[in-house]
Amino acid sequence: MSAEERIKNYAVECGALAAGIASVEDINRYAPEGHRPDDILPGAKSVVVTGGPPTTAGAWRSPNPRITTLTRVYPMIRGTVVMKLAALIEREYGYYAVFYDGQAESGHNPFLSLKLCAEMAGLGTRALAGGVILNRDHGLLNFSCVVTSMPLKPDGPMEEPVCPHHSCIKIWEAKHTTPCLEACPTCLSGFLEGGRIKWMQFRRYLCEPRAQTTSTTAFRQKLLEIVNETDLEKRKQMVYGEFFSRIVRSLAFSSELVGGCIECLRHCPVCIKATTLRPIPRGGKP
Amino acid sequence: MKLTFAELYRRHRDTVFQLSLAIQNYDGKTYTPPPLSDKAIAEKIGLTAEEVREIRCLAEADALPASVWAEADVFKNERAKKFRRAEKI
Ligand code: SF4
Ligand code: SF4
């Protein structure tokens, strides 16, 4: 078994659904200076990217969107998966390795774009839904990675795009919309031409309140409102009220911080296929 | 004369915000214009990268009124209900 196969198989053994390898050279063609793998690890040659499900197929169907956020699957373990992968690379192959699971460098800017790394590792392609990476088999994935000085054979980006799905092309031809665009006109605009994305705009700042409803920005904005409130009774109600309490709980237990909205992808055919289960008949008498 | 941070913020907030990752445009192959790093924005508008970072972080938190956070739940609950009806769960 090659080192590449061993590393990717180990990622799956540790809990990832899929893994791929990107070359630093490919990533650096797009990543700005200061946000490249070699800014994290000088001499970096490869990035091993792991992907897993944002939540269970069951939680994807919950009528309560908060359940979907509270039961995040891969985000809970993705750091551990790449921590173990980094240890494997350092101990068994003798190359430096740094793991990264998307922590912010400042504000909303990451140290390194995991979406770009995943794209360059062939784990999927950009979607009309805000440029997330869609995987043909697994739909929406969450990512984490290991940046390493180990030279590995890269998988490289996929040649055929996953998005738009053929049924979205048909919808576009008939109605000039797609399930994702229809779901969230606030944040998304786009245009298909010749069965491909011609252009797409993602207004990330408008997505944040929905995707990170009880996260750090919400906390800071609410805090400012509270300290500016001069009516003491009202201030007390703001602090003890349900919404601010939920924000504080979310920060205290890291429970509803990010990934709080999947509405643009609920009707995405790629995601629906990936999250639709068929019960496996059990043997024996019913 | 050196400007105070409040003055710098008022003067550059919109430009920094527009050039950052806040609004992302994709042409089917790549992001065009590419969202810029703090360092690249700083070079473009003649500030230091630290000044741009501070302006950007403040602008990100300052972009929307405080009411949007609680309102977000209304949108998500509505959408989730629609999905439930569509899937007949
Ligand atoms: S995650 Fe939610 S808010 Fe963001 S683009 Fe999708 S539907 Fe819109
Ligand atoms: S619904 Fe999914 S496959 Fe269809 S255009 Fe949107 S992101 Fe692409």
Inter-chain CB proximity A205 and B17 less than 8 Å:
yes
ipTM of the assembly?
0.92
Ligand number with the minimum distance to the CA of A273: 2
pLDDT at B89: 47
Inter-chain CB proximity A203 and B23 less than 8 Å:
yes
Domain limits for position B52: 5-64
Domain total of chain B:
1
Residue B47 within a domain: yes
Distance from the Cα of A3 to chain B's closest Cα (Å) equals: 31
Q: Does A62 touch chain B (CB under 8 A)?
A: yes
Residue B70 within a domain: no
For the whole model, what pTM was predicted? 0.94
Of all protein residues, whose CA lies closest to atom 1 belonging to ligand 2? Answer: A268
- Phi, psi at A57, each rounded to 5°: -60, -30
Residue B10 within a domain: yes
Determine if ligand 2 sits within 6 Å of the CB of residue A184. no
pLDDT at A254: 85
Residue B35 within a domain: yes
Mean pLDDT across A71-79? 92
Rounded to the nearest 10 degrees, what angle do helices A242-253 and A216-228 cross at? Answer: 140
Express each pLDDT in A223-258 by its tens digit. Answer: 999 999 999 999 999 999 999 999 999 999 988 888
Question: What three-state secondary structure class fits A273?
Answer: helix
Report the alpha-carbon distance of residue A221 to residue B54 in Å, rounded.
Answer: 16
Q: Of how many residues is chain B composed?
A: 89
Mean pLDDT across A260-278? 94
Q: Are A102 and A259 in contact (CB under 8 A)?
A: no
Helix or strand holding residue A217 (H, E): helix A216-228
Question: What three-state secondary structure class fits A164?
Answer: coil
Judged against a pLDDT cut of 70, whether residue A286 lies above it is answered with no
Residue B82 within a domain: no
Q: Are A30 and B30 in contact (CB under 8 A)?
A: yes
Sign of CA dihedral A73, A79, A84, A86: positive
Determine if ligand 2 sits within 6 Å of the CB of residue A97. no
Report the alpha-carbon distance of residue A87 to residue A84 in Å, rounded.
Answer: 5
